[in-house]
Amino acid sequence: MKVKEYYEEHQRALLGLSSFIFLAAAWELLLTYVVPLNPFFFTKPSLIAIAFKEQALGGNLWHNLAISSRAFIWGFSFSVVIGIPLGAVMGWRRRVEYALDPFLTALYASPLVAIAPLLIVVFGVGLLGKAVLVFLLAVFPFIFNTFAGVKSADPLLINVVRSFGGKERDLYLKVILPSTLPYIAAGTRLAIGRGLVGIIVGEFYAASEGIGFAISQAGDTYRLPEMFVGIIVLSLVAVLLTEVMRKLEITLAPWRAGEEIR
Instruction: Tell me the residue type at 24.
Output: A
CB atoms within 10 A of CB 66: 13
Q: Three-class SS of residue 148?
A: helix
169 is a site residue for other proteins (CB under 8 A): no
168 is a site residue for other proteins (CB under 8 A): no
**Smallest distance from other proteins to CB 152, Å:** 12
Those residues whose C-beta lies under 8 Å from the C-beta of residue 182, and which sit 6 or more positions away, are 149, 249, 253, 256
260 is a site residue for other proteins (CB under 8 A): no
CA proximity to 108, closest of 132, 138, 128: 138
**Smallest distance from other proteins to CB 143, Å:** 23
Q: How far is CA 35 from CA 19, 24, 32, 46, 148, in A?
A: 22, 15, 7, 15, 52
**Smallest distance from other proteins to CB 178, Å:** 4
Binding mask 118-157 for other proteins (x = CB under 8 A): --------------------------------------xx
The half-sphere exposure of 256 on its side-chain side, counting CA atoms within 13 A, is 19
**Smallest distance from other proteins to CB 245, Å:** 18
159 is a site residue for other proteins (CB under 8 A): yes
Helix (H) or strand (E) holding 26: helix 11-29
The only residue of 36, 102, 111, 258 in contact with other proteins, by rule CB under 8 A: 258
Spatial separation of the C-alpha atoms in residues 29 and 67, rounded to whole Å:
36
Nearest to other proteins of 70, 162 (CB atom)? 162
The only residue of 151, 174, 189, 246 in contact with other proteins, by rule CB under 8 A: 174
The half-sphere exposure of 66 on its side-chain side, counting CA atoms within 13 A, is 5
Site for other proteins in 183-222 (CB under 8 A): none
**Smallest distance from other proteins to CB 259, Å:** 8
The only residue of 165, 220, 251, 262 in contact with other proteins, by rule CB under 8 A: 165
**Smallest distance from other proteins to CB 42, Å:** 52
CA proximity to 147, closest of 81, 94, 75: 94
Distance of CA 21 to the CA centre of its chain: 25
162 is a site residue for other proteins (CB under 8 A): yes
Q: How many residues form the binding site for other proteins (CB under 8 A)? A: 22
Choices 119-127, 183-191, 205-213, 254-262 (CB under 8 A): range interacting with other proteins: 254-262
Spatial separation of the C-alpha atoms in residues 204 and 41, rounded to whole Å:
20
Which residues contact other proteins by CB under 8 A? 156-157, 159-166, 170, 174-175, 178-179, 181, 253-255, 257-259
